[in-house]
Amino acid sequence: MGIDRKTGVTAIGAAGLLGLGLYFAVPAAAAKPSPSPTASSSAAPDRHKHKHPRLHAARGARGVHGEMTVRRDGKFVEMAWQRGQVTARTGTSLTVRSEDGVSWTWNTTADTKVRKNRAKAALGDLANGDRVMVWGDQNGTTRTAKLIRVPDRKDRPRTTPS
């Protein structure tokens, strides 16, 4: 059973939108504490009333990096994403370190899109220490950034002082 190009592009787009939606929705849901149960409530909570049960299950979960295989133009391709902090930047590469200590170097091209504070930006606008979200293609251990996003201050996860 083959999938035509339009269906494949739609599926990839939907997956990307779902990923971005989760990127914004999960931290927002996790930041809102749920009310404590009261002694007067004798019945167990009805899980079917929750608008998004899958999001409810993922509350508080926040991925830091990952890889996936998708079908594009009839071929399977590898894609990767990473959330972390910029530790190095050269003319054609960006090194990002995730909270779990994983560092990946991303190649950049003229086609790499950069968004900083919800506006178009240039690679030169990125600085060491910037918190970023990077999406791109992967071929073996070579990663090529397609999109680099620096979230607004309000989108950034809250950190507790140490």
User: Taking the domains of the chain in order of start, what are their residue ranges?
Assistant: 1-32+48-62, 63-153
pLDDT at 31: 55
Given this model, what pLDDT does residue 40 score?
46
Homologous superfamily of the 63-153 domain (CATH): Copper binding periplasmic protein CusF (2.40.50.320)
Residue type, 87: T
DSSP annotation string for the chain: ----HHHHHHHHHHHHHHHHHHHHHHHHHHHSPPPPPPTT--SPP-GGGSS-HHHHHTTT----EEEEEEEETTEEEEEEEEEEEEEEE-SSEEEEE-TTS-EEEEE--TT-EEEETTEEE-GGG--TT-EEEEEEEEETTEEEEEEEEE--GGGSPP----
pLDDT of 82: 94
Tens of pLDDT along the chain (162 residues)?
566 777 777 777 777 666 666 666 666 555 555 555 554 444 445 444 545 555 544 455 578 898 989 898 999 999 999 999 999 998 899 999 999 999 999 999 999 999 988 889 998 899 999 999 999 999 998 999 999 999 876 544 555 444
Pick from 150, 66, 145: which is nearest to 113 by CA? 145
Residues forming beta bridges with residue 119, ordered by sequence position: 116
Position 53 scores a pLDDT of 52
The predicted pLDDT at position 150 comes to 92
